[in-house]
C-alpha cells in the first residue's frame, strides 16, 4: 500500500513540477489517438498497430535513454528521492 500511495503522490505532483513534460506527453498521446481514429474511420487495417507502437514509443525511448527497468520498485525510488533532498 505504501508503494501505491508513493507512486500516486508522484503522479499528482508531476504536472505541477514539470508542466512542459506533462503537456507534451499528453499532446503526443492525443495526436496518436486522433491519428488512429482517422485511420480506423478510413478503413486502414494497420490502425491498431500504429496505436500500439505510438503508445509504447515514449516508454521504449525512456528505457533507451537510461530509465532503470526497476523504476517501479518503490523502495529503490524512495531511497533515490531521499538522496536528492
- Give CA–CA dist 53/29, Å, rounded: 11
pTM exceeds 0.85, yes or no: no
- Give CA–CA dist 55/60, Å, rounded: 10
pLDDT digits (tens, 9 = 90+) for 31-74: 999 999 999 999 988 999 999 999 999 888 888 888 776 666 77
Q: Please count the structural domains in the chain.
A: 1
Residue 73 belongs to domain spanning? 2-84
What HEC string does 19-34 produce? HHHHHHHHHHHHHHHH
Amino acid at each position: 500500500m505504501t508503494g501505491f500511495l508513493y507512486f500516486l503522490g508522484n503522479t499528482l505532483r508531476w504536472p505541477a513540477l514539470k508542466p512542459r513534460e506533462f503537456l507534451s506527453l499528453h499532446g503526443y498521446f492525443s495526436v496518436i489517438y486522433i491519428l488512429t481514429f482517422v485511420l480506423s474511420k478510413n478503413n486502414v487495417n494497420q490502425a491498431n498497430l500504429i496505436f500500439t507502437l505510438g503508445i509504447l514509443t515514449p516508454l521504449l525511448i525512456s528505457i533507451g535513454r537510461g530509465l532503470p527497468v526497476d523504476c517501479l520498485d518503490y523502495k529503490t525510488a524512495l531511497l533515490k528521492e531521499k538522496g536528492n533532498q
